[in-house]
Amino acid sequence: MTALWGGRFTGGPAQALQQLNDSIGFDWRLAPYDIRASQAHARVLHRARLLTDAELTELLGALDALADDIATGVFQPQTGDEDVHTALERGLVERLGTLGGKLRAGRSRNDQVATDLRLYARDAAASLTAKLTELVEALADQAEKHLHDPAPGMTHLQHAQPVTLGHQLLAHAQGLLRDLDRLADWDRRAAVCPLGSGALSGSSLPLDPEAVAEELGFTTSAPNSIDAVADRDFAVELAFVCAQIGLHLSRLGEEFILWSSQEFGWVTVDDAFSTGSSIMPQKKNPDVAELARGKSGRLVGNLNSLVTALKGLPFAYNKDLQEDKEPLFDSLDNLELLLPAVTGMVATATFHPDVPRQAAPKGFSLATEIADWLVRKGIPFRTAHEVAGACVAECESHGIELHELSDEQLVGLSEHLDASVREVLTVDGALAARTTPGSTGPQAVRHQLETVRATVENLRKVTIPSQ
């Protein structure tokens, strides 16, 4: 029997319990982190004079060899290994005999798994940060190509006002930049080391949690041993960030689905990031965008699963906490798959700027320009809004566009109107007039692009270090 418990039991667990209880099927990925934590713990035991110099050397060597065997697949979990900790202790005992059991002193699986999961999560967050940064750069590169290209800006999926295509693309980049900021902020709270908390009460052995924390790349050790083994805030927060990233990718995917349709025709998704139909030879489907949209529900579901598992949970450790890993692992795994594909789709897409340019003035999207023109002449916006609306109604009744209204029609609609209003009834003029920070004017978008690139560069300097 390789279990880490059982001294007070007269028999082994029932098969049904073992199948329910074992977590080795999904927590084995924590093995490299458990070994790193074990090496740090061995050094602390040595400084506490609980291991001799020779024993420390043997243990560290065996841990290094075990890590190599795990990486190459030579060492694998086997039947009877309840979890990753059980399997690794078995590996040490097989190599070192009774010395392999000395490493368990002063720690519990409760603080071990909390430490391993934090180490894993920080590594995963660093990888997410790198991949998100690549997507922001792909959006910025496409935006730079289309800084001056107009497109219909929409609300309620109806033409609203002209915007530039670059502005629309950078709108997606802004959400992802907030996600990057969330990851960096999350790491500040996640960089707390639980190892040394034991099962819940710390240890009577002369350990040094701060030294362990420093060696493992954490900022500090846990200030409360009960909270340290019970806390899964870091997992919930990271699952939330994953869900938020998923929502942003879903919205980007939806736009690419619309833009690549025959009805829009704004963009062609590259063949490398499209699929076909098994029955209709002409089909070219935006599956990357659709999977981005579809997986967002899965990411939100994982967050909900984790939050629900933690609701009302008493201190300190409870077996319910075994349910923290699979939702978090699934979210991280899916984003690792999804982000490179979405980045590739964006980076290789071919936009057709003439199509959105022609569509930009349709749907009377320049009506607000008439209202603003009147406001600049001192007319209250309430009145200006009514006049612009009357212009739209006149156009609809005659099947014409705003710039096609005759001088007589303009004067007849309002005493405040005359032919000079036509100077604002062009898409390029409307865009050029948008000069306020954050607006869609070409110069404002150029400034936004420069800010996005500078933000990415700054994030690189303070990025989460890979563990």
> Which residues are catalytically annotated?
156, 277
Rounded Cα distance between 421 and 405, Å, is 10
Q: How many CB atoms lie within 10 A of CB 216?
A: 22
Contact between residue 146 and residue 166 where contact means Cβ atoms under 8 Å apart? yes
318 burial level (CB within 10 Å; 0-12, 13-18, 19+): middle
75-112: string of b/e by CB count within 10 Å (b at 16+)?
bebeeebbbbbbbbbbbbbebbeebbebbbebbbbbbb
Show the tokens assigned to 111: 């603080």
How far from chain centre, in Å, is Cα 118? Answer: 17
What backbone phi and psi angles, to 5 degrees, belong to 150? -75, 155
Going by C-alpha positions, the residue among 232, 220, 216, 136 that lies closest to residue 181 is 136
How is residue 444 written in tokens? 């404002």
Single-letter residue type at 89 = E
Instruction: Indicate the SS3 state at residue 382.
Output: helix
Of the candidates 167, 219, 172, the one whose C-alpha atom is nearest the C-alpha of residue 193 is 219
Rounded to whole angstroms, the Cα distance separating 4 from 82 reads 9
The residue behind tokens 């969330």 is 182
How is residue 113 written in tokens? 């798994």
